[in-house]
Structure 1
Amino acid sequence: MVSLKTIITLSFSVATVIAANVNSISECPSLPARVSPAKDITDLRIDDIKIIGALGDSIMAGFAMMGLDYEAGSGALNLSLISEYRGNSYAIGGDTNAVTIANFIKKYSPDVKGASVLSHLASICHGPLCGFPITAYRPLRDNLNAGQSGAIAMNLNYELDYLIPRMKSYIFSTSYKNDWKMITIQIGSNDQCASCDSTLAEYVSPDAYGQYVEAAIERIKKEIPKVVVNLLGTFKVSGVFPLTEGNPYCVPNGILDNEGECACADSPENLAKMDTVSEAYNQRLEAIANKNKGVAGGTFAVMYSPAPIDLSSFPVNALSNVDCFHPSLKGHQFIAKAFWNQLFMEKSLKPPVFTFEENLKVYCPTGNDRLPTA
């Protein structure tokens, strides 16, 4: 006998599939105006979000996503080798027509603040090696994208040292105290690679990783009012290496390559270690989210979204040809859609795997959709 709960769940799943049927967020209908403001964190619609921020690593910063045109003879002299294209960052890029979560939110909250724009030379923050001048922010371009190339979880506090004052500086265009905010956090790729580096091993163990992330969450809860944290899981970085090995797309440039950027790339045993570490990180992230669910009357919550990205399903050009390690523009656009589509799903309905789709459809939220904070 099929229970009522099962019927409701199946109906919701079918409705979700049907609703995620447009090629561009611009094709989605507008949401009906709210009758009254969100009463608490459990009542948030996407159009309630007025300020967005982000913490993370080089993926959040959009490092190298535009690649190199080797046929044009640019090679190692091209600044694309060391540039971040923050305006197209999957989570918080705000360039015109960029396929990003930030621009999806802007569809429903046109005055949302915080998206990063344009590009600039990379800034580097990696474990203990994190500070001016190599870790310089460009506030007018970074805005509230505090991600740093090279960052591991222990660097989240440094990123918050930038994010919180910068967010408060928006006081003339927003209300720091009263506006609802969403901060996306995605960290852990460099931590996985550093698990084979003896100089960093103590900082990237699953327990240390969990403690650093939890400390960042607690600081956000204490210092930033009315905020939901969009906590994204880690994916298994090891999948990059079999995808790219021997592929002519990955032209050596003499400066950057995926094996040189990951200390665990030297053996199958170390790649397996990375997978184990990634799974342990995700256990810590899910536990943190479970401790910080939204409650009636509350103004803070953590939403956890797994990142079960199947890299074996990716075309190689979804990675940047700069190093065949970081996502290309195509990769960022797919990731933006995949995370957006599950942003409105309860945990039990989130997909068990992200298989690459060239033309992944975009979900159109309805007036009944609430962010799954509870």
Structure 2
Amino acid sequence: MAKILTRFVTICVVLMNFQLGKNNVNAADDKYMQAYSRLVSALEDTIDWNETLKQLPGFDCYQERPLHLPPLGRELTFSCDALPPSDEIPTSAHRIRPADIRVIGAMGDSLTAANGAGACFLPELLYMYRGLTFSHGGDESFETNPTLANILRKYNPDLKGYGVNTGMWYSDDSSMNVGHPGDIAADMPNQARWLVSKMKADPQIDYENDWKIITLFIGGNDLCDWCDNNEYYSPENYVKHIHEGLMILHDEMPRTIVNVIGTIRVSEVEVLRAPICDIFQWAFCPCALFLTPDERENFDNLTKAYQEALEESITNGQYDDKEDFTVVLQPFLHDTVVPYTESGDPDFSYFAPDCFHLSAKGHAQGGLELWKNMIEPVGGKATTWSPDKINVTCPSSEFPYIFTNVNSKPEFWEPTQPATTSKSSGPIGAGVLSMITVALVTKLLATRH
């Protein structure tokens, strides 16, 4: 029993140390990540995991949980009409239907790696549930695991690159998910190079011809370290590092749409209070939590500055100079807050046992919200998630394309422009033009107030 308790304490220490020492993480050299990797390997290879679990604090939760209950409480129905792929492979990133996407990838930190997503109690936080991550996971199917990958598989069952099961950043099961726990914006260039090399080396991927969707989500760790180095973790540096990563993709990855998700309001998790929550939140994000009201307001203003700087960088046209590449900001987390139950209490079910990372339920909701953002025009995208609405949002058959900065502008669809590279699709309808115009005007009016 003493050995088991020692292992349990070691797990907690490694988790906290790896977070506290995560600056400028390098997967090959960082001592914390090496310790992390060794510990997980030991758990998987040398420990009778089932017997060990029974003797650890919290096992009752693990033992009693339903094994096949969908994270959102019920199986979903994919109610969208079938949208076939383009008759010919498109040459423009602004005329891409969901079924045209053949490869999916992901970049980011522990939220992209999905640490603890399937966890019921603390030791399982070590595991990266790649198959559950909202932007990339391919476990099961849409009905029980509505991630972006599983939504796209409804349109193209032959989608490649999604992650499954649990696995380290270098495992085969992670596939094209290069998300690395502890990473910050400064690590995005390395992740971009890594992703490019993995895709080029994969014999199942036609690198030059397959259309790709990459989702980049980073910033939580930058915000959580801001008080340690205000200059290094400034909004300007945050955007600069992401730009460097995006330009590697821009220069080296053809036929690609990149989703960039605006950073989450990490200070929101402070409402999730319990002794374990306090310990892990302090370990993961001391700069953002347990603040005075004035400090909280300043931190939330910093988060807003991150979001606005990133939005300006992505919408200013610098990534729209190539016909087969574009970057789109997806802001559904900008104003998202912790969900509450009907009784008015914070809903812990959206979070892992550390009260910081997302649970399978949180990832499932995130997948639905990311997809919804992708089929909303720029200027009219939702900035909050809607946990009370868990049905999939369907693209319009009148406008079957993924929205980009360019095709969200009505002038892109003027008669002087070629309507499509597909023989079956006509010019955009007046109704969608009106929708885009109204969304843009609404956004403009909102910013003036």
Q: TM-score range by the shorter chain?
A: 0.7 to 0.9
Match of 1:203 among 229, 232, 235: 232
Structure 1 residue 220, shift from structure 2 partner: 0.6
The amino acid across from 2:393 in the alignment is Y
Deviation of the 1:308 alpha carbon: 2.7
Question: Is the 8 Å Cα contact of residues 257 and 322 (structure 1) preserved in structure 2?
Answer: no
Matching residue of 1:144: 176
Q: 2:189–2:246: 8 Å Cα contact kept in structure 1? A: no
The more displaced of 270-279 and 288-297 is 288-297
Please tell me the root mean square deviation across aligned C-alpha atoms, in Å: 2.4
Residue correspondence of structure 1 range 1-374 to structure 2 within 5 A: 24=76, 26-69=78-121, 78=123, 80-97=124-141, 98-120=145-167, 137-170=169-202, 172-198=203-229, 201-241=230-270, 243-245=271-273, 250=274, 252=276, 257-264=280-287, 265-268=289-292, 269-292=294-317, 298-306=323-331, 307-314=333-340, 315-357=346-388, 359-367=389-397, 368-373=399-404, 374=406
Q: Which shows bigger deviation, 270-279 or 310-319? A: 310-319
Q: Judge conservation of contact 2:136–2:162 (CA < 8 Å) in 1.
A: yes
Distance 2:190 2:87 in 1: 40
Could you tell me which amino acid in structure 1 is paired with residue 232 of structure 2? Y
Aligned residue for 2:251, secondary structure, equals helix
Aligned residues: 320
Give, in whole Å, the separation in 1 of the partners of 2:253 and 2:85. 27
Identity of aligned residues (%): 28
Closer, same or farther: CA 190–318 of 1 in aligned 2, 3 Å: farther
Give the aligned partner of residue 25 of structure 2: none
Give the conservation status (yes or no) of the 8 Å contact 1:293–1:302: no
SS of equivalent to 2:227: coil
**CA positional deviation for 1:108:** 0.7
Deviation of the 1:155 alpha carbon:
1.0
The 3 A distance-change label for structure 1 pair 270 and 65 is: farther
CA distance, structure 2, for counterparts of residue 325 and residue 173 of structure 1? 36
Question: Any gaps of 5 or more consecutive residues in structure 2?
Answer: 1-73, 341-345, 407-449
TM-score normalised to the size of structure 2?
A: 0.66
Runs of 4+ aligned structure 1 residues displaced above 6 Å come to none
Q: Distance in 2 between matches of 1:34 and 1:25?
A: 25
TM-score, normalisation: structure 1: 0.79
- Contact kept, 8 Å, 1:87 with 1:118, in 2: the verdict is yes
Secondary structure of 1:303's match? strand
Name the counterpart of 2:435: none
User: Hey, what's the Cα distance between the residues in 1 that align with 2:176 and 2:302?
Assistant: 29
For 2:179 and 2:224, the matched residues in 1 are separated by 18
Cα distance in 2 for residues equivalent to 1:328 and 1:104: 19
Cα distance, 1:365 vs. partner? 2.4
**C-alpha contact 1:181 1:228 (8 A) present in aligned 2:** yes
Q: Name the SS of the counterpart of 1:258 in structure 2.
A: helix
* One-letter amino acid matched to 1:145: N
Query: C-alpha offsets along residues 29-86 of structure 1, whole Å, 9 cap, x if unaligned?
Result: 32135333324111111111111111111111101122335xxxxxx5x3x0311111
Work out whether residues 338 and 347 of structure 2, in 8 Å CA contact, stay in contact via their aligned partners in 1.
no
How much does 1:294 deviate? 7.2
> Quick check: 2:129–2:167 contact (8 Å CA) kept in 1?
yes
Aligned residues of 2:167 and 2:174 also touching (Cα < 8 A) = no
Equivalent residues of 1:193, 1:274 under 8 A apart: no
For 1:349, what is the secondary structure of its paired residue?
A: coil
- Rounded Cα–Cα distance in structure 1 between residues aligned with 2:206 and 2:291: 51
